[in-house]
Homo-oligomer: A and B are copies of this chain.
């Protein structure tokens, strides 16, 4: 057919997977056991197959690591430099994903030799993964203030201190506690529950919950 004059390429997905481990923002990385870039750290990836869309390929990578289907995930950028993979030419589409504490179990991660590494202690990464991570961080930094993506990293119920500390980590700057809580109060989709978390302090802190139903009916969000 007409298209056949043109070359075909391997297409991969690379998933920049975020999670909170002990309250620290981490990336899921693996140390490559095969060439190319053997021994270097890299993000989790895989090749796109015939029977799946590119988005589906990213979901498959996520599913293998977590056993779950409905992980928050979004495309970041396509990377298409000729020599970005020193082995063969591969065009890669980067995605980022946000995992909540219940969305990963360490056994499954161990089986895939994936480890959580704190975002500000990243080892040197192979390929063009540093650029992918950089672009992803810019993206979520810009996005987290007007779209409620941060909740995907938290448990279903969380304290305001946890939420604030998450935002501080993502934005890389300290936030004023009273102003932060004022904005939370104005954001109707974050609601206080009757539950109290006693593990983080002697006094106990109210647990809050993100109400996506309220959010979807009034999609306004500003933190």
A interface vs B, CB < 8 Å? Answer: 1-3, 6-11, 34-35, 47-55, 57, 75, 77-82, 87-91, 93
Contact of A77 among B7, B35, B50, B75 (CB under 8 A): B75
Q: Could you tell me the distance between the alpha carbons of A48 and B88 in the complex, rounded to whole angstroms? A: 16
Shortest Cβ distance from A85 into B: residue: B3
Q: Could you tell me the distance between the alpha carbons of A54 and B91 in the complex, rounded to whole angstroms? A: 8
The residues of B that contact A10 with a CB separation of less than 8 Å are 3, 6-9
CB distance from A209 to the nearest CB of B (A): 29
Q: Could you tell me the distance between the alpha carbons of A55 and B54 in the complex, rounded to whole angstroms? A: 19
The residues of B that contact A7 with a CB separation of less than 8 Å are 10, 47-50
Shortest Cβ distance from A49 into B: residue: B7
25 example contacts (A-B, Cβ-Cβ < 8 A) are as follows: A1-B88, A2-B34, A2-B35, A3-B10, A3-B47, A3-B88, A3-B90, A6-B47, A6-B48, A7-B10, A7-B50, A8-B9, A8-B10, A9-B9, A9-B10, A9-B11, A9-B48, A48-B80, A54-B81, A55-B80, A55-B81, A75-B78, A78-B78, A78-B93, A80-B93
The residues of B that contact A47 with a CB separation of less than 8 Å are 3, 6-7
Shortest Cβ distance from A12 into B: residue: B6
Q: Could you tell me the distance between the alpha carbons of A19 and B93 in the complex, rounded to whole angstroms? A: 29
The residues of B that contact A88 with a CB separation of less than 8 Å are 1, 3
The residues of B that contact A57 with a CB separation of less than 8 Å are 80
Shortest Cβ distance from A57 into B: residue: B80
| A78-B90 CB under 8 A given contacts A3-B10, A9-B11, A47-B6 | no
Q: Could you tell me the distance between the alpha carbons of A87 and B1 in the complex, rounded to whole angstroms? A: 9
The residues of B that contact A52 with a CB separation of less than 8 Å are 82
Shortest Cβ distance from A51 into B: residue: B82
Interface centre among A2, A3, A49, A52 (most CB of B within 10 A): A3
